[in-house]
Structure 1
Amino acid sequence: MTTDKDLLDGQLEHWQRTFVANPEMYGPDPSEPGAYARDLFRREGMTDVLELGAGQGRDTLAFLRAGLNVTALDYASDALAGLERAAKASGHRAQLTAVAHDVHQPLPLPDASVDGVYSHMLFNMALTMSELDHLAAEVARVLRPGGLHVYTVRHTGDAHYGAGTAHGDDMHENGGFIVHFFDRALVDRLTPGCTLLDVTEFEEGGLPRRLWRITLRRSEAPQ
């Protein structure tokens, strides 16, 4: 089964080794969706942002430089330690809360405690459909009414979709990484308590990877 503990632990170890071996693998500049989210959050006058799967923090640092307070979650503690060092070196350590966390578990924040939630390919991790449902509900729970959720996913038009080792639920393993590829029906499904504002396709990397950037707004009142 895809949710077997050994399989999930293997993903953690693989990411930890990757970050240790490549401490600057993504470079210092924000990703395209990270820059989009930074500008959107700033235009909306937001203050507190939750980032899921912050990794080495190229988008986190862009949020911090824009004046946002960021709670950065990742299950690779080595990456978070590097992010904390980078935030301190840039003079933004006080704005950052870094927490080692597995998103299979409930998010470690109170209800309605953040203005925005952001993640870049975190929803593509080794998460079953029921686990994705739970994560989307958790994001809605921690968002304040009117808050924004911006996330990206590789979709079923990607070159790696259907390749490598299949793990069920449209999950496929290539190069040691398990990716849950999204179709449009799954995007529409993961909107509890939110309104879908935008789905924009873009490409990234050398393959290139084919992704959607998705923007949702938390409902002002419970649905």
Structure 2
Amino acid sequence: MTRSTADQPHEREAGLAAEQRRHWERTYAANPGMYGAEASGPARHAARAFGEAGAHEVLELGAGHGRDALSFARAGFSVLATDFSDVGLAQLRAQAAADGLADLVRTATHDVRTPLPLPDASVDAVYAHMLLCMALSTAEIRALVREVARVLRPGGTFAYTVRHDGDAHYGAGTDRGDDIWEHGGFAVHFFSRALVEELAQGWTLREVHAFEEGELPRRLWRVTQTRP
């Protein structure tokens, strides 16, 4: 039987997703707490925005080993931290217990290519630091943002960061298609400003802030939008 050409991109995406999950599991196992214990700059900004909006519950997508999730708990938020890496989440749970934050932090292994494991309008805020610019297709990113809108309560805040097409790694390395480029085993979907604007349709777009982080440096946008 001849497979349709429509099946082939889907299979490539599934293969890349599986590769990336294995790569992140190995990376977290080899480098416990690899990003350190201090909250990222975007998490500190998000905590202020969430607090000003009166949020109590925060859903973090792509929490990894948990430096930002733990910082939200220290600020008094109840946190559900999700990631597709069991290894990273195990490190997060251990640190939450050591810090006396276990009552404020829950974890769930979840791949954002599937629907979020939450009821409609069940959380006050959603946070994702460089999760949307992982090895996700544009269609998967659109579906994820629809899911974020579904689980947010009216007036809820979505704060996320992504590497963009002004980054030095954009257009370099291994071309995985759909503006996804792989460097050193890590696949990144680089965002255009048009994609940011598209994902904000039906939302109130509060901010698109350009900043740099880490070596190279990486060039990112910090996006804050609210659900009507």
TM-score by length of 2: 0.94
Deviating more after overlay: 93-102 vs 192-201: 192-201
Distance in 2 between residues matched to 1:112 and 1:172, nearest whole Å: 34
Distance in 2 between residues matched to 1:196 and 1:129, nearest whole Å: 19
Aligned counterparts, 1:47-86, within 5 A = 47-86=56-95
Q: Is the 8 A contact 1:118 1:149 kept in 2?
A: yes
- Give the superposition deviation at 1:179: 0.4
Relative to structure 1, the CA distance from residue 4 to residue 130 in structure 2 (aligned partners, 3 Å threshold; closer, same or farther) is: closer
- Give the superposition deviation at 1:130: 1.0
Determine if the alignment matches structure 1 residue 210 to structure 2 residue 219. Answer: yes
TM-score by length of 1: 0.96
Partner of 1:128: 137
Among 165, 169, 172, which residue is 2:181 paired with? 172
Partner of 1:153: 162
Distance in 1 between residues matched to 2:219 and 2:22, nearest whole Å: 26
Q: Is the 8 A contact 2:70 2:105 kept in 1?
A: no
Q: What amino acid is aligned across from residue 79 of structure 2 in structure 1? A: V
Q: What amino acid is aligned across from residue 117 of structure 1 in structure 2? A: V
Partner of 1:99: 108
Distance in 1 between residues matched to 2:66 and 2:221, nearest whole Å: 20
Distance in 2 between residues matched to 1:38 and 1:218, nearest whole Å: 17
Tell me the alpha carbon deviations over residues 135-160 of structure 1, each in whole angstroms, 9 at most, x when there is no partner. 01000000000000000000000010
Determine if the alignment matches structure 1 residue 42 to structure 2 residue 41. Answer: no
Mind listing any 5+ residue stretches in structure 1 that lack a counterpart?
Answer: none
Tell me the alpha carbon deviations over residues 166-198 of structure 1, each in whole angstroms, 9 at most, x when there is no partner. 111111011011100001000011125311110
Distance in 2 between residues matched to 1:170 and 1:6, nearest whole Å: 17
Partner of 1:90: 99
Distance in 2 between residues matched to 1:127 and 1:78, nearest whole Å: 21
Distance in 2 between residues matched to 1:75 and 1:18, nearest whole Å: 13
Partner of 2:123: 114
> 1:188 is paired with a residue of what secondary structure?
helix
Q: What amino acid is aligned across from residue 174 of structure 1 in structure 2? A: H
Tell me the alpha carbon deviations over residues 15-43 of structure 1, each in whole angstroms, 9 at most, x when there is no partner. 00111111021111001001101122122
Q: What amino acid is aligned across from residue 129 of structure 1 in structure 2? A: T
- Give the superposition deviation at 1:5: 2.5
- Give the superposition deviation at 1:46: 0.9
Deviating more after overlay: 81-90 vs 189-198: 189-198
> 1:206 is paired with a residue of what secondary structure?
coil
Distance in 1 between residues matched to 2:177 and 2:87, nearest whole Å: 30
What is the count of residue pairs matched by the alignment? 219
Mind listing any 5+ residue stretches in structure 2 that lack a counterpart?
Answer: 1-8
Q: What amino acid is aligned across from residue 92 of structure 2 in structure 1? A: L
